[in-house]
């Protein structure tokens, strides 16, 4: 893949991200004003199934407006406790990898400090989960299918 291909891929992934995320169950979508990390992965030339990261960015999530770009230091300042290095607020991460012209692999993860629910007794523990979906555009709408990565 060339640098020009990477730029096209990044633009396509960034444009598709809000609509793909909107296809998630509402309880799994970031709340407006939340902080989101986003990566785009591209296939390695000649390597079956292997990818490389070609883009990483951070946003303040908006449902009704364009995503607000953040630099990494600002994102970490909002989301990470400087004394412990762990998340101090809920964070979402989305990774898109192209599968076809109308399909992406979405790797979605969420993490939140347990102290939000348990108070100080939670210490610095964080609860998180990750799920992988195949997102396909069908008649202009995105549909998500769970991808069982353990099934191989």
Determine, yes or no, domain membership for 152: no
Determine, yes or no, domain membership for 95: yes
For the purposes of burial, counting CB atoms within 10 Å of the CB of 69, is it exposed (0-12), middle (13-18) or buried (19 or more)? exposed
Q: Indicate if the alpha-carbon torsion angle 68, 104, 37, 23 is positive or negative.
A: positive
Mean pLDDT, to the nearest integer, of 107-121?
90
Could you report how far apart the first and last alpha carbons of the chain are, in Å?
26
Range of the domain at 128: 3-146
Confidence at residue 43, expressed as pLDDT on a 0 to 100 scale = 85
Confidence at residue 4, expressed as pLDDT on a 0 to 100 scale = 66
Cα–Cα dist 16/102, whole Å: 10
**pLDDT tens-digit readout, 129-147:** 999 999 999 998 999 999 7
Confidence at residue 3, expressed as pLDDT on a 0 to 100 scale = 65
Percent of the chain with pLDDT over 70: 92
For residue 11, pLDDT beyond 70: yes
* pTM for the full predicted model: 0.88
User: In the chain, how many domains are there?
Assistant: 1
By the 8 A CB rule, do 133 and 142 touch? no
CA angle, residues 9, 11, 14, in degrees to nearest 5: 105
Determine, yes or no, domain membership for 151: no
Determine, yes or no, domain membership for 138: yes
For residue 5, pLDDT beyond 80: yes
């Amino acid at each position: 893949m060339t640098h020009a291909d990477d730029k096209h891929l990044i633009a396509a992934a960034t444009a598709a991200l809000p609509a793909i995320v909107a296809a998630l169950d509402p309880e799994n979508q970031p709340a407006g004003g939340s902080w989101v990390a986003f990566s785009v992965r591209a296939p390695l030339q000649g390597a079956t199934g292997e990818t490389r990261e070609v883009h990483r960015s951070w946003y303040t999530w908006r449902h009704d407006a364009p995503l607000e770009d953040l630099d990494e230091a600002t994102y970490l300042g909002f989301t990470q406790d400087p004394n412990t290095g762990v998340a101090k607020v809920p964070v979402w991460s989305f990774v898109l990898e192209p599968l076809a012209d109308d399909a992406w692999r979405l790797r979605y993860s969420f993490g939140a400090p347990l102290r939000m629910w348990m108070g100080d007794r939670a210490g610095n523990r964080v609860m998180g989960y990750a799920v992988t979906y195949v997102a396909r555009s069908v008649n202009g709408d995105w549909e998500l299918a769970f991808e069982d990565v353990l099934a191989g």
